[in-house]
Amino acid sequence: MRAAPGDDPDLLARLRAGEARAFEELVIAHQHRVFGVALRMLGSRAEAEEIAQEVFVRAHRSLAEFRGDAKLSTWLYAIASRLCLNRLAASDRRLRREGEETLLRLPADADPAAGVERREVEAALHRAIEALPEERRIVVVLRDLEGLSYEEIAQALGLELGTVRSRLHRARIDLKDKMERFLQ
């Protein structure tokens, strides 16, 4: 699981005291993760930024309601997930703009065959993730891309642990099937 420097309890106390600098630190610490979740869910950088900004603005407005029984990062993931799923469910949602900019990237040593073949794998994986049903995609994004535990995912999405485990398993089976030709 990736480190979460913005989960410092002192930061929470300063946020509750209304310290402006504390809020800035929160945004700095979590901006990339929140943006990453939004991008993987929505497939558009512009839309992802819009949602990611909204996540922090809402967090800023509702800090008083945050009881502190979850980590700050989990709380932000919960807001981000809800906003993304709502946006995807909205009937007037604009068509997703696909392109190279939204492609995920793999490190050079992730695939023994460098260059062109790695880019093929990246494109295939991008499409496979994008093709997942939204309720499964969010679980894969939070678990395998963001490194949340089952319990944190359950907390962020308001699901039972068993549901998280089941959705994650189905999502991985889907991905394996779509990536079959690239797997050893």
Q: Which residues bind another protein (CB under 8 A)?
A: 2, 16-18, 23-24, 27-28, 31-36, 39-40, 45, 49, 52-53, 56-57, 60-61, 64, 104-107, 110, 121, 125, 129, 140, 143-145, 150, 165, 168-169, 172-173, 175-176, 179-180, 182-184
CB-CB contact of 93 with 42 (8 Å): no
Residue 82 CB, shortest distance to another protein, in Å, is 18
In the complex with another protein, the residue whose CB is nearer, 8 or 111, is 111
CB atoms within 10 A of CB 78: 19
Residue whose structure tokens are 């502190």: 68
Residue 68 CB, shortest distance to another protein, in Å, is 14
Q: Tell whether the torsion through CA atoms of 103, 77, 49 and 12 is positive or negative.
A: negative
Residue 83 CB, shortest distance to another protein, in Å, is 14
d(CA 34, CA 51): 9
First to last CA, the chain: 26
Residue 91 CB, shortest distance to another protein, in Å, is 26
In the complex with another protein, the residue whose CB is nearer, 27 or 157, is 27
In the complex with another protein, the residue whose CB is nearer, 140 or 157, is 140
In the complex with another protein, the residue whose CB is nearer, 91 or 136, is 136
**Chain centroid, CA 89 distance in Å:** 17
In the complex with another protein, the residue whose CB is nearer, 17 or 91, is 17
Backbone phi, psi, residue 88, to 5°: -65, -30
Residue 103 CB, shortest distance to another protein, in Å, is 10
In the complex with another protein, the residue whose CB is nearer, 91 or 183, is 183
Alpha-carbon distance values, 91 to 84, 95, 136 (Å):
13, 11, 20
Residue 63 CB, shortest distance to another protein, in Å, is 9
Contacts with 45 (C-beta within 8 Å, 6 or more apart), sequence order: 39, 101, 102
